[in-house]
Amino acid sequence: MIVEGFNNKRELKTVKFETELLVVGGGLTGVCCAITAARAGVKVILIQDRPILGGNASSEVRLWSLGATSHMGNNNRWSREGGVINEILTENIYRNKEGNPVIFDMLLIDKVLNENNIILLLNTCVFSIEKYSTKKIKSVKAYNSSSETFYEVEAQFFADCSGDGIISYLAGIPYRIGAEDGNEFFEGFAPDKEVYGEVMGHSIFFYMKDTGSPVSFVKPDFALENIEEYVSKINNNEYFSINHHGCKYWWLEYGGRLDTIHDTEKIKFELWKVVYGIWNYIKNSGKYPEMQNYTLEWVGLIPGKRESRRFKGLYMLSQKDIMEQRLHYDAVAYGGWAIDLHPSDGVYASGKACNQWHSKGVYQIPYRCYLSDAVSNLMFGGRIISASHVANGSTRVMCTSALGGQVIGMTISLCLKKNLLPIDFVDETRIKDLQRELILCGNFIPNIDLDDNDNILKDAVIECSSTYKLSELKSNGSFESLRYSAALLFPIKDTLPGMSIEVEAIEDTELEIQLRKSSKRGNYTPDETLEVKKIYIKQGRQFVHFVFDRHFEKEEYVFIAFMSNDKVSLAVSDNILTGVTTVYNQVNIAVSNYGRQDPPEGIGIEAFEFWCPKRRPEAKNLAIIFDTPLSLYAVDNLKNLCYRPFNGTNAWAADSNDSTPYLAVNWNVEKKISKMIFNFDVDYDHAMETVQYGHYDDVMPQCVRDFTIIDDKGNVVKEVKNNYLSQVVIRLDSSLKTDSLRIYFHKPNENTPVCVMGIGIY
């Protein structure tokens, strides 16, 4: 076909949409926002300016996604984020436990395309907005260069998850860039703006590959010469190693002294100079002959951003909110990554590449951080939320940001159902509706206790085939050296029973055993020592019995801590139990964990020890025998709204020897049922990094895989096979009328009993 003729006003194609919610930004925040809203029945358009979803988690950047679990290197037990981001992480483990970033791209696209209520526009960049008034947005304009198409999207509500906050910026919402003075929010960790700088830079990573035969490398002319002179960390084993690639080079950072928005391309080229300079150093300096068969497989195409605009919301989160774990009536999300600040000079800075300080536990993020009163139909999420520069050092990480995306998606769905605006949920009564909906989707909001009055399980009598009682964690016959102090962590109420543990000593010695707990209920930092036992141990194997004379009024977690002694080894167990784990006072340099945290005086950070678990398959529980079995898994736990261990196991578990574990739910009157929700344990203590790390399991060993639901007439209502997710939602094609249900479960594996975290019946 030939198109002829001259037209001095040739038009590009324009496509117009009308929708209920427009989400701008396809990183994990935007993806979780769009999926949440779509599942609640909202018509959504998701605009992403890149060819793939994921933002910093995508294969274009390849940063592992993390949040409160912090590489399992802090004291935030069972803290992995819930809801949609947990579903994505768990799905990625199942499909992609090796951590291939391209497969993660595929997973995100698959998740979004499976939602019929989402229209996805990739490679599409928003460049202008139109408003009805100063306080209400009407539409946005966007452009896709690859298809030469303009889009005009009119929406009732807008979610800015764009990273740099393009919608919020164009809408005129006040924002901040850079650090506040320390006295503005009384932040002792506020940086010295002249020396340290006040904005964090961008990073670019690289991957390498062993080809099996020698590979030469001819550097590009732009590569940085004399790398040892300009990049001092190349001589620091904590940062540089030829065994590192990908996110291990997070410290290849630059741009904090520049405009981190408008100078992004300049920053990218500087980082490319550094990356190719480092690769030239590895290949051609003569110091690493073992790298002769390696080739440079991939270099990041765009820099991963840490910081730019932060928009002024109704509340500004600050250092004290994080470190003091302040409570907020409108808490809707939480964080737990360290306050993690980087010098603005990045890779060219002398000294440490980052300064990380941890809180003693997770902290709440209030709803008011996600909206402004300047625009009525807009919310913002991700690293642009209302937080100080110091607080942003923690809230900016992807899994924490993704929780905010789900908050926005759920809020907009409720606004549409109830004819409200986002600001209406600042109300102390209405916020409970939002909190409840988030929790029912599998989210966790620490220290928020709500009821679900619509769940008819609360009206039922629940019987079970058996209940697990913790009498012992059986020894597998092997022993673990007490090179580091180790502790069994479990919840207790009432009187702590006596305990016995098998030890092996290479010579006569003394074993110190401490009873510890957290000074703050709900934390897992063992900063209070309640009692100390010192027991004489003879050379060889023997059982040690000890008793701590303690009574606990409320259920809380305790640590039975065996203090380091390299002459002693303790028996270990293969048993895996929900809400029970073994932790170690050891080091995880990746998150500035050196066994304890000792901050300088005057910066508002507490000193404390780190007690952290190991990863499977190395992770084992200490083998222990209780004089009196512990009742940790009552069936009434199924009625609460906390679907993870927190101040208790919050679970029902069947006895390990129960060959046919079941729950019988009886109402004695006919009920009409259209939906059921089952919550299972997918090990919220395991950090599910999306790339590079790789994982031992594709399904968490505690997770119930198979179960069957039967009605009062013996009919099979639903049979679920090969489940690997934390939450299974069953929607019936037609309402079921029954006065009882019986649910049969299959034991997930030999070392783990059947465990259920909560059931909703509607």
Q: Concatenated DSSP letters for 622-668?
A: EPEEEEEEE----GGGGGSS--S-SSS---EE--TT-SS-EEEEEEE
> From CA 637, how far away is CA 667, in angstroms rounded?
18
Give the dihedral sign, CA 612/615/618/623.
Answer: positive
- CA distance from start to end of the chain: 60
Report pLDDT for 10: 74
Residue 86 phi, psi dihedral angles, 5° rounding: -65, -40
Q: Are 745 and 468 contacting, i.e. CB atoms less than 8 angstroms apart?
A: no
C-alpha atoms less than 13 angstroms from C-alpha of 639 in its C-beta half-sphere: 15
Helix (H) or strand (E) holding 149: strand 149-160
Distances from the Cα of 80 to the Cα of 71, 362, 376, 590, 663, angstroms: 10, 10, 32, 18, 28
In 3D space, the residue among 749, 729, 690, 707 whose CA is nearest the CA of residue 95 turns out to be 690
What lies within 8 Å, CB to CB, of 112 at 6+ separation is 31, 34, 35, 46, 53, 118, 120
Report pLDDT for 6: 60
Model confidence over 380-390: pLDDT tens digits?
Answer: 999 999 999 99
Report pLDDT for 2: 74
> From CA 253, how far away is CA 38, in angstroms rounded?
37
Distances from the Cα of 636 to the Cα of 46, 195, 328, 463, angstroms: 41, 57, 28, 10
- What is the C-alpha R_g of the chain? 27
In 3D space, the residue among 646, 655, 652 whose CA is nearest the CA of residue 665 turns out to be 652
Q: Are 528 and 514 contacting, i.e. CB atoms less than 8 angstroms apart?
A: no
Residue 140 phi, psi dihedral angles, 5° rounding: -125, 160
> From CA 282, how far away is CA 182, in angstroms rounded?
42
Q: Which amino acid is at 340?
A: D
In 3D space, the residue among 88, 71, 102, 99 whose CA is nearest the CA of residue 33 turns out to be 88
> From CA 666, how far away is CA 722, in angstroms rounded?
27
In 3D space, the residue among 694, 696, 697, 699 whose CA is nearest the CA of residue 247 turns out to be 694
Report pLDDT for 7: 63
> From CA 445, how far away is CA 468, in angstroms rounded?
27
pTM over 0.75: yes
Q: What is the mean pLDDT of each run of 10 residues along the chain (762 residues)?
A: 69 95 98 98 98 98 97 97 98 97 98 98 98 97 96 98 98 97 97 96 97 97 95 94 93 97 98 98 96 97 96 98 98 98 97 96 98 98 98 98 98 98 97 98 96 95 98 98 97 96 98 98 97 97 96 96 98 98 94 93 96 97 98 96 97 96 97 98 97 95 98 97 98 96 96 97 98
What are the structure tokens assigned to 459, written together?
A: 């009206």
> From CA 629, how far away is CA 655, in angstroms rounded?
12
Distances from the Cα of 287 to the Cα of 225, 229, 283, 284, angstroms: 16, 16, 8, 8
Q: Packing angle between helix 83-96 and helix 398-418, nearest 10 degrees?
A: 130
SS3 301: coil
In this structure, the dihedral spanned by the alpha carbons of residues 26, 27, 32 and 37, taken in order and rounded to 10 degrees, is -20
Report pLDDT for 590: 86
> From CA 368, how far away is CA 346, in angstroms rounded?
32
Q: Beta strands 13-24 and 149-160: pairing type? A: parallel
Report pLDDT for 577: 98
SS3 576: coil
> From CA 24, how far away is CA 26, in angstroms rounded?
7
> From CA 649, how far away is CA 206, in angstroms rounded?
42
> From CA 594, how far away is CA 588, in angstroms rounded?
6
> From CA 71, how far away is CA 623, in angstroms rounded?
25
Q: Are 19 and 45 contacting, i.e. CB atoms less than 8 angstroms apart?
A: yes
> From CA 643, how far away is CA 725, in angstroms rounded?
13
Instruction: For 419-485, give the DSSP string.
Output: T--GGGGGSTTHHHHHHHHHHHTT---TT-----TT-GGGGSEEEES----EEEE-EEEEEEEETS-
